[in-house]
Amino acid sequence: MCIFLFAQEGKDTSQIKKTKPAIDSVTQKQTSGFKFSTSYLTNSVYNGRQDSLITPYLTPLLGYYDASGFYAEASLSYLASSQSRIDLVTIEAGYDFSLSKRLTGEVYGSKLFYNKNSTAVMSQIQAITGGSLSYDAGFLNFSIGSDLAFSKATDLLANYGVSHPFLLGSDSSLWTIEPSFKSNFGSQNFYDQQKKAKKKGSGTTIVTSGSTSFVVLDYEFSLPVSYDSKTWGFSFTPTYAIPQNPISLSKPNGTVVLKEKLSNVFYAEFSVYFKF
**CA separation, residue 202 to residues 25, 143, 152, 197 (Å):** 60, 43, 20, 10
Which residue has better confidence, 105 or 19?
Answer: 105
Where do the structural domains in the chain lie, given as residue ranges? 13-275
Task: Quote the CA–CA distance of 147 and 107 in Å, as a whole number.
Answer: 10
Reference 20, options 74, 73, 65; nearest CA is 65
Class of domain 13-275: mainly beta
In this predicted structure, what is the pLDDT of residue 261? 81
229: three-class secondary structure by DSSP: strand
Which residue has better confidence, 196 or 209?
Answer: 196
In this predicted structure, what is the pLDDT of residue 6? 35
Which residue has better confidence, 12 or 245?
Answer: 245
In the predicted model, what is the mean pLDDT of the chain?
84
Quickly state the pLDDT bin for 121 (edges 50, 70, 90).
Answer: confident
195: three-class secondary structure by DSSP: helix
In this predicted structure, what is the pLDDT of residue 63? 97
Is the full-model pTM beyond 0.85?
A: no
- What is the pLDDT averaged over residues 51-74? 95
In this predicted structure, what is the pLDDT of residue 20? 47
In this predicted structure, what is the pLDDT of residue 152? 87
